Each structure stands twice: as C-alpha cells, then as structure tokens.
Amino acid sequence: MDRLDKWLCARTEHSRKEIKTWIRDGKVQINGIRITDPGVHVAATDSVFLNGSHICAEEFVYIMQNKPPGVVSVSRSDQEKTVVDLLPPDLRRKGLFPAGRLDKDTTGFVLITDDGEFAHRILSPRRHVTKTYTAVLRDPAGSAYREAFQRGISLADGTVCLAADLEYTDDPCIVRVFLREGRYHQVRRMFAALGNQVIALHRDAIGGLQLDASLLPGESRPLTMEELSQITNEQLS
Ligand code: URA
C-alpha cells in the first residue's frame, strides 16, 4: 500500500508537489469521500478520483492507438507531435512510450505502455510476436514476391531479413505482410529490394490482437483484460 500522493504520482503525469496541493485543496476522492491528507494509504480495491477523473489503479497501463499519419512514434519531441501527445488526459502518466516504432507516415496499431519488460517481449524477434501490415504498392506485387519473402529478403545494406509471409489481395497493388522482427523502415526496404515502392503502410495487428476497427485515426483506448492476457500468453509461448 502506497501513500496517496506517491500512488497518484506514479499513475499520472503530475509532480508530487502538484498532487499534494490538489489533495490539500480537496480535489481528490477515495471511494467517494474527499481526502485532504496526502499520507493516507490507498488499498488495491480503492477507487480514486483526481480533479473528477478516475485514476487507473494498475501498476502498468497498456494502450492501443490508431496512429494517424504525420505523428512520430516516440514519447517526447520538441518539434513534432508524438503518439503520447495524442493520448487523452485520463490515459496519460509518466514513463509512457510506444512499444515499437512506426514511421511518421505509417498508420495503424501502436501499443503504448510504461511496462518495459512487456515491450521487450513484444519486440524481441525470439518471441515471434508477428506484426501484420497492409502495404499499398506503386506497382503490382509480382508472383515471386511471396517466395522471396519466405526465403528472407536481402536489403540494400546486405541485411538478410527473417522469413516473412506475404498475402496477396484482390487488388494487385495491395498486399498483407507478416513480420517477426522490426528493423528500421523494414517493410519499405523489403519492397525496395524487389524494385517496388510502398506508397502507404498500415499496421493491422500485433500478434493475434487486431486494431479495434472502431478507433478513429488518433484515438486510443486501454487494452481489455482479455486482450492483455491474449498478447501476454503469445509472448510467453
Ligand atoms: N516497416 C516500415 O517500413 N515502416 C513502418 O512503419 C513499419 C514497418
């Protein structure tokens, strides 16, 4: 059990000093009762509100975002809007970062968390958590692409990619790509190695978790318990 000020500090983006002031000003409620002592202990089952917003009690948060184009996949940037900047105030807390980067112009599923070990397991090629992308290509996908992906594409700098899957769609210029690793600009460089060009790229899924189709570009929501245990089980299998 943590003191209220420490508990809130770990679960919001605010400083301990700000929080202490709010508590003393009566801006915090535990189980519907106004609390003005920062030293009160918070129990696991307590429901805490700060300035009228419910504060998620979990130690870590796991957020699904539908990244729009033009936003960078980092925690903080002085120049550009980041995926963390797009989070609504009630999902913000210190230490959030995207578990894996999408290029600025790539859209789709980004997982944002403050759990470093979880992120490592998602990203490690050894765990085989597949990332699924839809790529729009400049030229129709050749019939040899699928086999080339399965053999392992050699990038221009000599890097040989792990075997990947490619699925054709009804549109010859749109393919689905399944990767088990996440190199810089990987999908774009794989198609460049085949003499083609990616015009648009969207991440549809991380492991068995599909991006929620009801999330509009720029919107985010926490993973449900079921989604979290699904992806955690995949990481461990
Ligand atoms: N591959 C890319 O080329 N870009 C991304 O954003 C993700 C995978």
Domain-wise residue ranges, the chain: 2-54, 62-124+211-232, 130-206
Token pair in block for residue 132? 């699924």
CATH number of 62-124+211-232: 3.30.70.580
Res 234 pLDDT > 90: no
Token pair in block for residue 40? 């009160």
Task: Provide CB contacts within 8 A for 218, sequence distance 6+.
Answer: 65, 66, 67, 68, 71, 86
Using alpha carbons, list the distances in angstroms from residue 29 to 12, 13, 38, 88: 15, 18, 11, 21
- Residue range 155-170: mean pLDDT, rounded: 97
Protein residue closest via CA to atom 3 of ligand 1? 185
User: Which atom of ligand 1 has the smallest separation from the CA of 198?
Assistant: 3
Topology of domain 130-206 in CATH is Alpha-Beta Plaits (3.30.70)
Q: What percent of the chain has pLDDT over 90?
A: 88
Pocket (CB within 6 angstroms of ligand 1)? 102-103, 106, 185-188, 201
Res 231 pLDDT > 90: no
DSSP state of 117: H
Q: Rounded to 5 degrees, what are φ and ψ at 122? A: -65, -35
Protein residue closest via CA to atom 4 of ligand 1? 185
E strands present in the chain: 2-3, 28-30, 33-34, 41-42, 48-50, 53-54, 62-67, 97-98, 107-113, 131-137, 165-168, 174-179, 198-206, 209-210, 220-222
Predicted TM-score of the model (pTM): 0.91
User: Which atom of ligand 1 has the smallest separation from the CA of 101?
Assistant: 6
Straight-line distance from the first to the last Cα atom of the chain, in angstroms, rounded to the nearest whole number: 33
Domain 2-54, CATH among 3.40.50.2300, 3.10.290.10, 3.40.50.300, 2.60.40.1530: 3.10.290.10
According to the model, what pLDDT value does residue 125 have?
Answer: 75
Res 237 pLDDT > 70: no
Task: Tell which one of 74, 102, 122, 202 to mutate to probe ligand 1, the residue whose CB is within 8 A of the most ligand atoms.
Answer: 102
What's the CA-to-centroid distance between 224 and ligand 1, angstroms? 26
Q: Rounded to 5 degrees, what are φ and ψ at 188? A: -60, -40
Confidence band for 14, pLDDT divided at 50, 70 and 90: very high
Task: Tell which one of 201, 202, 203 to mutate to probe ligand 1, the residue whose CB is within 8 A of the most ligand atoms.
Answer: 201
What's the CA-to-centroid distance between 21 and ligand 1, angstroms? 44
Confidence band for 172, pLDDT divided at 50, 70 and 90: very high
Res 202 pLDDT > 80: yes
The catalytic residue positions are: 103
Protein residue closest via CA to atom 7 of ligand 1? 102
Asked if the domains at 62-124+211-232 and 130-206 fall in one CATH topology, the answer is yes
Render pLDDT for 81-117 as a digit per residue (tens, 0 to 9): 999 999 998 899 999 999 999 999 999 999 999 999 9
Confidence band for 127, pLDDT divided at 50, 70 and 90: confident
